[in-house]
Amino acid sequence: MVAIKRVICSERVRKIPTQFSWVDHRLVRERYIERCDAHAAALYLFLVTVADAQGLSYYSDASLGRSLSTDPVRLSKARGDLMRAGLIAYQRPLYQVLALDSPPRVEVRELSADEIAVRLGRLRAAMGLTP
């Protein structure tokens, strides 16, 4: 049986508000959310909600901790996780929610035959294999 998609509550159909306060669907589609634990995801949602049109907000650690019911250590870890995932930038006291643009391209260079031989030799040695 195939479920038919339909609006359940027509009087409360979501619209993008006039202020900048929405979540980009690429957060899920491009798997950014998979790089975050629940605390980082909660912090991200909070920052997206309160940020201005440029993604900026000035919430203090104390205010964020109260709003998210989290301690300073967990908040710091969540912030670091979001920064590593490329979702926010932070320069105390300013947060910026970043655009979900494609990650920068990594330049790849070809290895010479000699470099490959050296790396294979190191790998074999690390695995305890004789050449």
> What's the confidence (pLDDT) of residue 112?
86
CATH no. for residue 21?
1.10.10.10
Provide, rounded to the nearest whole percent, the portion of the chain with pLDDT above 90.
34
d(CA 88, CA 48): 10
H-helix or E-strand containing 68? helix 61-68
Report the pLDDT value the prediction gives residue 129, as an integer from 0 to 100. Answer: 80
Q: Is residue 5 part of a domain?
A: no
pLDDT of residue 43: 97
* C-alpha span between 27 and 7 (Å, rounded): 23
Give residue 70's pLDDT.
95
Range of the domain at 37: 13-97
pLDDT at residue 14 is higher than 60 = yes
If you average pLDDT over residues 63-79, what whole number do you get?
96
Range picked from 27-41, 56-70, 89-103 for highest mean pLDDT:
56-70
Of residues 107 and 87, which shows the higher confidence score? 87
Give the total number of structural domains in the chain. Answer: 1
Structural domain includes residue 82: yes
Q: What is the DSSP letter of 19?
A: S
